[in-house]
Structure 1
Amino acid sequence: MQKTRNHLFRLLPITDTRLVIWARALRTFGYGFTSVLLGVSLTDAGLSPLNVGILLTVAALGSIAFSCMMGLYADRLGRKRLLILSALLMMLTGMVFAATQYYPLLLIASFCGTISPSTNDNTPFSGVEQAILAQSASTKRYTSLYTYYNLTAQLAGALGGLLVGISSVLSPLGISEHMSTHGLFALYGLLAGCTALLFLRLSPKAELALEQKYTQKLDKQGEHTQLLYKPRVRKVVILLLTLFAFDSFAGGLAVQTMLSLWFRQHFGASLGSLGMLFFGVNMFAALSLIFAPYLTKRHGLLKTMLVPHFISNVFLLLVACMPTYFLAALCLLLRQSLSKIDVPARQAFTAALVTPEERTSTASFATVARSTAVALSPLAASALMVGPLLALGLPILLASCLEIGYDFTMWQTFKRVTLQSDTVLAISTITIPPSKVPTISEIEILPSGDAPALSR
């Protein structure tokens, strides 16, 4: 046990890394119960599934807007500052959901803050956090570090799902299901406040290094002649983000909120049984993450991303075909036992394609791509959950088929792409007049391994 603990601390070498992981865990603990409660509580309050889908779409659009802001301005205005701002907006959203069921106000709160329909973190936080983590580790350790980042979050999300059943415990004490639900949304707001306190403790090391900012500025303004180094993977990254968006649209058809709503309407499942089911779902997903570093080392990032993902979506296809709650829940648990293995491999794959100064924008725009697609999914899923389409489980069937298509496309597209390390870059060809050719003493090698720049 002591050896395992020491290994963990070697993987989490700096305080900023631990703070980021703890903040993600607190948020996902909140997502664990609010993602189940969201659809059920709103439909119990008289809203239609379509209204629930609209609210989730508005929430996704808000996430897109703030993720764009993070990608464009986090490294300029300060990662820490914008993370704290996002946490405070998330806290305000939780308090609004706890205080009222007035639909227009809920829409405003959903757009301005963070309310997630699943334990997946397609939120403004994730891009900046992933950049901070990648900055603190070498390329070889990306998958292990992202595994801990996602593992703690999934375990927290599983524990959060258990709180959904608190209404059954409190009802004999005279506390109604309505009151306990609003109390949990208030707890969600308090958890967001705690993440803001964690972000307050981030050190200056969490920010983009000054020499990297300075080099970028010189490149754009052309104040000095430089030896420019540019990554060769920009078009590949754009294609990658497009496929991520397709994957997210498919996954958004079967997010936890929509699944809990389907189990509730199709099988008549109680909140207590749903809480236990999604506790198991998130626990299985968390445990599956443990295998990601081993599979990556043995089979590479791409196979680790795609093979378990494919098998998990075959199980998702079976969920909609099962005649009883027990069999459908069993297939969902089997699906979740494989569905998250791809997450740390995907994050490591993305981080390995870009240079350090591009990681915040790339990870943030990956979140934007995924959130944009997820914004469309709830509307499509809610429209397919009416009448006979509900009995067929059409959103679940469609989600699984699209996800399988994503796996095949991803493999065909990236099977021949060679990942680069932080320092493997393509040299741009430039012309330097003979009178301005620098001497060795005039060239400054930046400590991060970035492009050499001419000293003043």
Structure 2
Amino acid sequence: MTSSAGLKPTDYVFAARALRDFADAFVAVLLPVYLLGLGFSPLEVGVVATASLFGSALLTIGVGLIGVRLDLRSLLLVAAGWMAATGFAMSAANDYLPLLAIAFVGTMNPSAGSVSVFVPLEHAVLARDTPDRQRTGMFARYSLVGALAGALGGLAAAIPDVIIGLGLDQLTAIKLMFALYAALGLIGGLLYARIPRRPVGHELERPAPLGPSRSIVIKLAARFSLDAFAGGFAVQSLLALWLFERFDLSLSQAGVFFFWTGVLSAFSFPVAAWLAKRIGLVNTIVFTHIPSSIALALAVLAPSLPWALTLLLVRAALSQMDVPTRSSYVMAVVTEAERAAAASFTSVPRSLAAAASPALAGALFAVSYRAWPFLICATLKIAYDLLLLLQFRHHKPPEEI
């Protein structure tokens, strides 16, 4: 379906995703600065971040459960309004308990990751309005838009410094950024309002959130959680720490390096869609992931900085190619009625699993086993890829049959 302006429902979702990822990215940077500026301890900041993560996960699961019974457009409008309310509440609150409560029930994501109440709803809208053969390419563009918007959002975290230069204090400047977050939520709601309402037919009136596809969703969620747990051993902050300690990399050099890793990851998404058309979704996931894991292992064993950075750039160009293909595969192997729940139940466990491993990696760093977290990451990811290939290589999406 195309609007009178020539735009499709997917175009509105893309635009709303860009605004949301832009907002999430600057909030992820500014939230701890704001809390510390209010006088809270690092421990209290960590508790707020944890509350936000778990609250987002619970909200995402809840939306996945009810998404099958309600109009997706209506739910997206409610979520956009909730995002606006979260931003305005954060800009007004100064005491710890209200801030903790807002973090738990609101939409802010301190990791700027993919755990969001919007994700299962957007995935379901995109999948229902896209033919099977175009679905992977669509998810690639969706991921590319989000990644580039997030990169710009990270740069926008410097806006408070500009505001301070105009005579305002830091806390007021950050409060204005929370107000911007709220405004972007309202604009996102206007975009979601342009999505046509989907008529609910008899088939979709009283379905269970997960019906005939329950088994495969559970299996996929378990495999994806193993992948996310492995990835937590090599989060960007730990990788930066290793580069600082191993090669005395400067902050400016690190900034340039991580900018280019982000660019390579973003533009690998359309390549993944092109590759999936030729070798299939599962094969694309596995046969790009394994070389990226090998590159990571070799990078931490590299004798010099140029070799390490080159191998890490190779990893960046390959490691995220599973993002659009994974989303496309999940949407392909479940029924339309189950898509919101499937997106929720495969994304939330990933994020919860990823939250567990950085602490273990930090403990290894503390006892000077600095290469071990990355070697563990590579090993577990290869194990995940092989398990995925073994179990799902014959479970093909419609376009590959």
Question: TM-score by structure 2 length?
Answer: 0.81
Contact 1:157 1:282 in 2 (8 A): no
Q: Is residue 404 of structure 1 aligned with residue 397 of structure 2?
A: no
1:294 CA drift (Å): 1.3
Report the counterpart of residue 71 of structure 2 in structure 1: 78
The correspondence for 1:212, drawn from 203, 212, 220, is 203
Structure 2, gaps ≥5 residues long = none
Partner deviation per Cα, 1:78-125 (whole Å, 9 max, x = no partner): 222222222222233334444556443333222212222444322121
Bigger CA drift: 368-377 or 80-89?
Answer: 368-377
Query: Over aligned residue pairs, what C-alpha RMSD do you find?
Result: 4.0
Inter-partner Cα distance in structure 1 for 2:32 and 2:363: 13
Give the gaps of 5 or more residues in structure 1: 1-8, 221-229, 425-456
The corresponding residue for 2:347 is 367
Go from structure 1 to structure 2 and tell me whether the alpha carbon gap of 1:336 and 1:387 turns closer, same or farther (over 3 Å shift).
closer
Distance in structure 2 (CA, Å) of the matches to 1:329 and 1:170: 36
Seen in structure 2, the aligned counterparts of structure 1 residues 188 and 403 have a Cα distance that, compared at 3 Å, is farther
Question: What amino acid maps onto 2:56 in structure 1?
Answer: S
Read off the aligned partner of 1:345 and give its amino acid letter.
T
Kindly provide the CA deviation profile for residues 282-321 of structure 1, in whole angstroms up to 9, marking residues without a partner as x. 3222111120121101221112112222333344456767
Shift of 1:135: 0.8
Q: Residue 199 and residue 322 in structure 1: after superposition, are their counterparts in 2 closer, same or farther (change >3 A)?
A: farther
Give the secondary structure class of the aligned counterpart of 1:77: coil
Relative distance call for 1:211 and 1:300 in structure 2 (3 A) is same
Any residues of structure 2 matched to 1:58-137 within 5 Å, and which? 58-99=51-92, 102-137=95-130
Confirm or deny that 1:140 pairs with 2:117: no
User: Is 1:293 matched with 2:273?
Assistant: yes
Say if 1:162 and 1:279, in contact at 8 Å, map to a contact too.
no
Is 1:27 equivalent to 2:7 in the alignment? no
Kindly indicate whether the alpha-carbon contact (under 8 Å) linking 1:80 and 1:199 is maintained by their aligned counterparts in 2. Answer: yes
- Which residue of structure 2 aligns with residue 164 of structure 1? 157
The 5-angstrom pairing of residues 329-344 of structure 1 reads 333-344=313-324
**What amino acid maps onto 2:391 in structure 1?**
T
Aligned residues: percent identity? 35
Aligned positions of 1:304-323 closer than 5 A: 304-317=284-297
Distance 2:274 2:346 in 1: 25
Greater Rg over alpha carbons, structure: 1
Equivalent residues of 2:284, 2:325 under 8 A apart: yes
Aligned: 1:197 with 2:175: no
Q: Deviations over 1:175-229 (max 9, x none)?
A: 6666554443432232222212222232113x6x413214x56xx9xxxxxxxxx
The Cα of 1:126 is off from its aligned counterpart by 0.9
Q: 1:171 to 1:321 in 2, by over 3 A?
A: farther
CA displacement 1:23-80 (0-9 Å, x = unmatched): 1111111223333444566567776665554433322221221122212212323222
**Cα gap change, 1:338 to 1:14, in 2 (>3 Å):** same
| Kept in 2: contact 1:61–1:375 (CA 8 A) | no
CA apart distance, 1:248: 2.3
- The 3-state SS of whatever aligns with 1:137 is coil
Give the TM-score normalised by structure 1.
0.72
Amino acid in structure 2 at the alignment position of 1:83? L
Give the total of aligned pairs.
394
